[in-house]
Structure formats: structure tokens, C-alpha cells
Amino acid sequence: MVRFLLSQGKPFLAAVLALTVLAAIIHFGRHVSPRYQGMSHNSQDDQDNQAGESGTHEVAGVASGPDYLTPQHFDFLIEDELAWLVSCRLPNGAFTQSPGGNTVIPYFPNLAARTLVVSNPEVVRDYILWYLSSLNKPDRWGLSGTIYDFRVEYLPPGDTSGIAGDLTKIMMVPTANYDSADSYAATFLSLVAAYYFKTGDRELIRANFHDISLVANVVVELQDEDGLVFVKPGSRTKYLMDNAENYRGLLDWSQVLLEEGYLDEANRLKRVATRIKEGIFDVLYDPERGGFAWSLSPIWKRFPRDRKWYPDGVSQLYLVTCGLVSPDDPEAHAIWHTFVQNFPEWQAGVKKDRFPWTNVAVASLMMGDRDKALEFVDWVNQKYLLNSRPYPWYILESAYLVTLLELAVTSSTRQ
């Protein structure tokens, strides 16, 4: 995703995108949620998932990781992972959780597609158009601009009951539900911005401006008086991780609006994003604890518990990865130091969680802890990549691995 910085002839926007890539690329999950636990790769994976669950700041330098992890090997792993991601694509442009999977949860493809912006912009364009064509206007809660999860049914040969014209081999069945309205919308906005600044595809933006605006309005409609955004209609819960994504997504989309001359709308959404940031620091932060509540509801604020991985520990990293706190800020150092103290062997998969959490390794690299990030790559390579990517490897892990490797190559060339 570092390649977003290749936007041509726009130094200011390139700088904005540098923050976007380093800050917005990481998006973690929410407590006990199928969306964030990568469920529904296929029927067998769903059964397996139901059976079980899941330092000090350093300047990035030459790592003492495994010798085989050279820039050339990184390039090989990147290309292999990009090909695997594309193999998760359906004929209509959507992405399942893994090749041949039976579930589309749009949050995950929103993040995964950003990884493909440079290598496969047409694939990303097709996905964006599929997403927009699948919007609810409105959904069953009365909110327009949301999108449901889908179940994919693979039809037998000769069956012509498939939807969308020539798509006669699959049927997309909406579930009439989604894990979160806010994060689905916000991550889609970041994807559209990444695609726009890489390709300069003004036609897509202008032809679909109304529908993209509906997506942005989802976040606006769910914002509460304290600046924080509710997770979905009918819920009174606000999540730190979601609100970090909401902040990032609105800022990313506002940059597109500025570039296209929609100044009033850009400024309006920037004000909404500013209120989100203020809510995070004014409402969720507890100076006595030195941390942020990972959720807020009318009943209570839930703060991280020591050595509790998810959502407690990883939620705090969101402040760095979504650009609310700079990696150079003392607050970021304190967040990372606490995380490493609580999970000293996270890079070897030592945590009470089934999933690899490749996005944590990207955060590690952002914070300058390159050695741990490369140790993680070695662990993932041995456990998943060399074993045909068994569950729980899925598109989100794959996309973040590409991001991690691209950042590792970029940082190594600067030594």
C-alpha cells in the first residue's frame, strides 16, 4: 500500500496519502464479532471456527531476522499473496473470505482491495462498482448507504437462476444484516480514495458521486452528540476501533472531494471527523488509567485488561495506525511499550487468540520494531504459507501481509 505515494504530480496529496497508508491501512476487529474473526471461508471452516476460538521504541534498522527474508524473497511472497487474493474474487467483482468461500463480508474486501490498487486497479474498480450496486436504499433499519453481508450459493451446471445477467454460476443471497454500519462505510471510503489517487479515475467518482455520498452519510447519521459514532442503527454502543476507522475514512474521502472541487462537502466531513477525534480523546481516554476505553455504552466504559489480547490490547494500537497519534509521539511509544509488555511473544503466535493478526505486525513495523515484524513473517511463512494457507488464514491476513512486506522492503531500501 506504500505505492499509494506514487500519485503523480500532487506532492501535497502524496503527503496526505503517506499518512493514509501508514495510518489507515491497519483496521482491527471488534469484540466477539464474526466479521473480525474471519469466519465463513467455507462450510468446513465455519464448523472449525465454532469448535474453537480463537518495548521500547526503536528506529527501524537492519533486522536480525531469518537470513532468507531478503528483499527478493519479499517480492516473491508479495506476488504470491496478491495472486491468492485475486483468486478470492467472484465473477461479479465481490470477494469471498478465501478461494471458493461461501460468504462475502464487505468489511474485509474493503481492506483487501486496497492492497490490489497498484497491481490490479481494474479488479478494484469492479469491486467498488459491485459494492455501490449492492447498497441498501434503505436497509431494514431505514438507513441508506449501508450494505449487508452475503451468502454465496454456487449453482450446478446448467442452472440459469443466477443473478446479475451472465452470472449463472453463483447466486448472492443477502443476509439482511451487517456487523457494523459505520466501519463498512468508513473502510469503503478509504478504498475509494486510494483508488482515485492512484488511478485518477474521475469518471468513477463523478458517475457514482450520489451513491458514494450516501456511504459517507452513514457515518454522519450515526454520530452522537459526544462526537463518537454508534456501530449501527438501533445500537447504543460506540467502539474505539470503529471510530478510528470512521475518522480515517472521512478524512480520506474529504481529500477526494477537495481535489474534485466539492469544497463545502469536504469541509463538512472534516468537521465531522474532528468531532470524532475529540470524542475519542475527551470521552474514551482515562488519564488515571493511561488508556482508552475500547467500547462505550449506556451501561459502562470497557477499558483494556492486562494480557487480554482482543479487543483490549489491539484496540489501543488503532490510535497509531489510523493516524490519531503519530508513531513519533510519546503517547504512541507508551501504547506500544504496554502492548509488548503484555504480549512479549506475539510475533511467534503466543497469545490467546486463534488468528494470526498480521495487522499487528504492520503496527510493529510502523513503531520501528522491525525485528519482531520479521520474526512474525517467518512464523506466518512456516505455519500458513508453506502449508497451503489453512484456516484461519483469510483475505484480511493476506492483505496485511502484502502491506507488511511492502513496508519492510521500503524501509530496508532507506538504510
Per-residue pLDDT tens digits for 167-205: 558 999 999 999 999 999 999 999 999 999 999 999 999
What per-residue confidence (pLDDT) applies to 156? 80
**Residues 169, 161: contact at Cβ < 8 Å?**
no
* Residue 240 amino acid letter: L
Cβ-in-10-Å burial (0-12, 13-18, 19+) of 268 comes to: middle
**Residues 376, 365: contact at Cβ < 8 Å?**
no
**Residues 16, 7: contact at Cβ < 8 Å?**
no
Q: φ and ψ at 301, to 5 degrees?
A: -100, 135
Domain ranges of the chain: 2-412
Strands (E), 266-308: 285-286, 291-292, 295-296, 301-302
Number of C-beta neighbours around residue 307 at 10 A: 12
User: Is the peptide bond prior to 344 cis by the omega test (within 30 degrees of 0)?
Assistant: no
**Residue 56 in this model has a pLDDT that exceeds 60:** no
CATH class given for the domain over 2-412: mainly alpha
In sequence order, the 6+-apart residues with CB closer than 8 A to the CB of 389 are 84, 98, 398
Average pLDDT over all residues of the chain: 86
pLDDT band at 45 (very low <50, low <70, confident <90, very high): very low
What per-residue confidence (pLDDT) applies to 57? 31
Give the CA angle between residues 407, 411, 412 to the nearest 5°.
115
The three-class DSSP label of residue 7 is coil
pLDDT band at 1 (very low <50, low <70, confident <90, very high): very low
Distance between CA atoms of 375 and 275, rounded to whole angstroms? 39
The three-class DSSP label of residue 171 is strand
Q: What strands, in cross-sheet order, belong to the sheet with 103-104?
A: 103-104, 150-154, 170-174
Point out the least confidently predicted range of 38-47, 106-115, 273-282, 291-300: 38-47
**How far is residue 324 from each of residues 246, 279, 398, measured CA to CA in Å?**
11, 12, 25
Q: φ and ψ at 346, to 5 degrees?
A: -60, -35
**Residue 372 in this model has a pLDDT that exceeds 50:** yes
Q: Mean pLDDT throughout 70-76?
A: 92
| Residue of 369, 372, 361, 367 whose CA lies nearest to 405 | 361
Distance between CA atoms of 120 and 124, rounded to whole angstroms? 7
Per-residue pLDDT tens digits for 91-115: 999 999 999 999 999 999 999 999 9
What per-residue confidence (pLDDT) applies to 370? 95
Q: Mean pLDDT throughout 66-88?
A: 94
* Residue 233 amino acid letter: P
What per-residue confidence (pLDDT) applies to 343? 98
What per-residue confidence (pLDDT) applies to 66? 82
Distance between CA atoms of 112 and 64, rounded to whole angstroms? 29
What per-residue confidence (pLDDT) applies to 162? 55
**Residue 11 in this model has a pLDDT that exceeds 60:** no
The three-class DSSP label of residue 89 is strand
